[in-house]
Amino acid sequence: MNSKARKVTGEQKPSLVSPIVAALSSLIIPGMGQALARSLRKGLVLFFSLASIIALWVWRVRITARLESTFFDAVKKSFYLDPILLVVAIGIVVIYLWNAYDAHITAKQERSPSGFVLWTLVLFTFFFTGWQIGDIRPLDLIRDAQDAGPNLQRILWPWERAISRPEELLVATVNVQIPCVDPPPSPSDEVPGEPYISVSPTCGDLSQQNGALGTTLKLVGHGFAPNAQTEIWWQDDMGNEFRQRQAGEYITLVTDENGAFELDVIIPYRIIPPSETRSFALWELQARQIASLGKPEASEELLLSIEKMIETIFLGMMATFFGIIFSIPISFLAARNLMSASWVTLVIYYLTRAVLNIVRSIEPIIYAVILVAVVGLGPFAGILALTIHSIASLGKMYSEAIESIDPGPIEAIQATGANWLQTVMFAVIPQVIPPFVSFTIYRWDINVRMSTILGLVGGGGIGFLLIQWIRLFDYKAAGIAVWFIAFTVAILDYVSAEIRARFV
């Protein structure tokens, strides 16, 4: 009642200046009129809002049109480049004028919504400034949304990559006599179950350096893997292998559904050393196929993801474990109810609290970056980083659990004639264990989630794979890792919620 009355009289305190003077002084310095009309706080807030909006606007104009030499040109150019800056400029002008009007109203001490309008304007201008600084472009988002499609698809359904068949090299060879000298070689023997090729004729001439084409051979093959890419290679009599080109391009053919093919091959050009004295050479024509045959098995990516996921879970677990060991004694030092006995203990309490807060406020990824330099890449760096953060975080949570225990049961157990140890076991531990368990499991949950991130800086775990695959644009492999992380986090979340529900 009393305070309300005081507030009313405060509003009715007469203005120091007339409404016109207030309006004019607000035109010179925003908010000054309001201050003179005894609304000092309003004037100050208004002044600083307007000053900061103008400063931000000048900064953005400079940044948007940084090539213009004069400020006036920069303003023109920036309005053209980014019309939102124009909107902000209009907002500033309107606020400036409204500020004078508001000073007038304030000095007249009329009830009007002018203040409300003013603050709404300020808020909107800040909103548009934020829009400009944030480079928010919803149109781009809508127009180019489909660009995310292919990669998103690969990440969302990466499972083809989880299975692989062992690759097998299928080779069939046939001899070709160059040039034709009697008798030409006979076709090689066919072995059942193995790929087979034959040529006709089985001899011919090389292409010439002047462009004259060599003999065209009709190459027929069967017994290959169906619908699979096949390469044609030569091996000369000195053992040199080279791939068949036709019109400058490597030949790659695809077998039909029966694993057969037919192809005309022109014998390529090849320098014959002058020392060559033999009347003919026997070359080998090869059809090579890399076929994914055999039983499907887990791919390397899948196995790696599983391995690293297990590593991640244990990384989180070890960090939590070390965190518990160190944070329990620290938590006693950070519990006010235990440390308020004398000023010495109170100083220790404040110091512990301060250190815990500082350590806790630094993200584990920063510790990981530093520790990777110390202990090298791998899970140990991640464990150390998470341990440091866990100690601080658990230390604070445990100490708060200790602070919140009910002193009543302690008193009651003491009153039965129990000794100190019995009192701790019967009155303190039962009260402290449930929150400790709850916080610990929650922390494990956090640590596993964090450890997926720590891999990004080399702190071990699955994040290491994830960042590697993303940098290789292997989005399907990355997708497998993402799925594993999602599975693990979901399961862990569920398990920790269940356990906590049971203990608390």
Interface with another protein (CB under 8 A): 406, 408-409, 411-419, 421-422, 425-427, 430-431, 434
Q: How far is CA 299 from the centre of its chain?
A: 24
How does strand 252-254 pair with strand 196-200?
unpaired
Closest distance to another protein from the beta carbon of 398 (Å): 17
Closest distance to another protein from the beta carbon of 435 (Å): 10
Nearer to another protein, 418 or 489 (CB): 418
Closest distance to another protein from the beta carbon of 330 (Å): 24
Nearer to another protein, 192 or 417 (CB): 417
Nearer to another protein, 210 or 416 (CB): 416
Q: How far is CA 311 from the centre of its chain?
A: 19
Nearer to another protein, 144 or 411 (CB): 411
Which residues face 200 on adjacent strands? 218
Spatial separation of the C-alpha atoms in residues 278 and 174, rounded to whole Å: 21
Strands across the sheet containing 216-222? 196-200, 216-222, 261-266
Nearer to another protein, 369 or 410 (CB): 410
Closest distance to another protein from the beta carbon of 15 (Å): 49
Question: By the 8 A CB rule, do 323 and 443 touch?
Answer: yes
Nearer to another protein, 310 or 412 (CB): 412
Nearer to another protein, 149 or 417 (CB): 417
What number of other Cβ atoms are within 10 A of residue 448's Cβ? 28
447, containing H or E segment: helix 429-454
Question: By the 8 A CB rule, do 491 and 410 touch?
Answer: no
347, containing H or E segment: helix 343-361
Closest distance to another protein from the beta carbon of 138 (Å): 53
Closest distance to another protein from the beta carbon of 417 (Å): 2
Please tell me the number of Cα atoms within 13 Å of 175 on its side-chain side: 13
Closest distance to another protein from the beta carbon of 418 (Å): 4
Nearer to another protein, 359 or 412 (CB): 412
Beta strand segments in 42-195, E? 163-164, 167-178
Question: By the 8 A CB rule, do 385 and 368 touch?
Answer: yes
Closest distance to another protein from the beta carbon of 411 (Å): 6
Closest distance to another protein from the beta carbon of 323 (Å): 24
Q: Which amino acid is at 384?
A: L
Nearer to another protein, 72 or 343 (CB): 343
CB burial readout 327-355, b (16+ within 10 A) else e: bbebbbbbbeeebeeeeeeeeebeebbee
Nearer to another protein, 297 or 411 (CB): 411
Per the document, the length of the chain is 504
- The radius of gyration computed from the CA coordinates of the chain, to the nearest angstrom, equals 40
Closest distance to another protein from the beta carbon of 415 (Å): 4
Nearer to another protein, 104 or 500 (CB): 500
Break the chain down into helix, strand, coil percent, rounded to 5.
Answer: 60, 15, 25
- Token pair listed for 89: 């400029």
What number of other Cβ atoms are within 10 A of residue 418's Cβ? 16
Closest distance to another protein from the beta carbon of 423 (Å): 8
Q: Cα angle at 345 between 411 and 438, to 5 degrees?
A: 60
Which of helix, strand or coil describes residue 254?
strand
Closest distance to another protein from the beta carbon of 503 (Å): 9
What number of other Cβ atoms are within 10 A of residue 93's Cβ? 10
Nearer to another protein, 276 or 406 (CB): 406
User: Residue 252 class from Cβ within 10 Å (0-12 exposed, 13-18 middle, 19+ buried)?
Assistant: exposed
Spatial separation of the C-alpha atoms in residues 25 and 127, rounded to whole Å: 27
- Token pair listed for 256: 């039909």
